[in-house]
Amino acid sequence: QVQLVESGGGSVQPGGSLKLSCAASGNIRDSAFMAWFRQAPGKEREGVVGFYTGGGGGLYADSVKGRFTASLDAAKNTLYLQMNNLQPEDTAMYYCAAAPRVPYRWRQSTDYRSWGQGTQVTVSS
C-alpha cells in the first residue's frame, strides 16, 4: 500500500497562491488514480481534484475549476496542486489520496486506499 506525505500548506491572504505536494512511496503509477480532498471544520470531506496517473489529466470540482491545477512528476513520485486566487472558503485541511483503480465516483472517498496525513490551508485577511 502506497504511503503519501503532503506538504506545502500555510496561511495566505485572499487572492494568494499555494502549491501543495504529495510525495508517494514507491511508484506513483501503481495507483491508477489520485485525488486531492479537503475538509473544513464541521463539514464533510470533499474531493476537489482527481488525476489520472497514467495520463488523461485532471478532473476538477466546480468550486475550484479555473483556480486549481494538478500536475504529476512521475520521476519524483509526486503529485502537485497549484492553488491560485485562494478564497476564505478554500480554508480546510487538504488530503492526498490514491486508488488502485479509477473510481466510479472520484469525489467520494470510499474507493481510495491510501491517504496522507493532511496539510492545513488557511485563507484569511
pLDDT digits (tens, 9 = 90+) for 72-110: 999 999 999 999 999 999 999 999 999 999 999 999 989
Which of 10, 9, 11, 8 is CA-nearest to residue 124? 11
Phi, psi (rounded to 5 degrees) for 41? -55, 130
DSSP state of 74: G
Bridging pattern class, strands 119-123 and 10-12: parallel
Query: Which pLDDT score is estimated for 27?
Result: 86
The residue to which cell 505536494 is assigned: 21
Show the cell assigned to 48. Answer: 476537489
* Residue position matching grid coordinates 501503481: 30
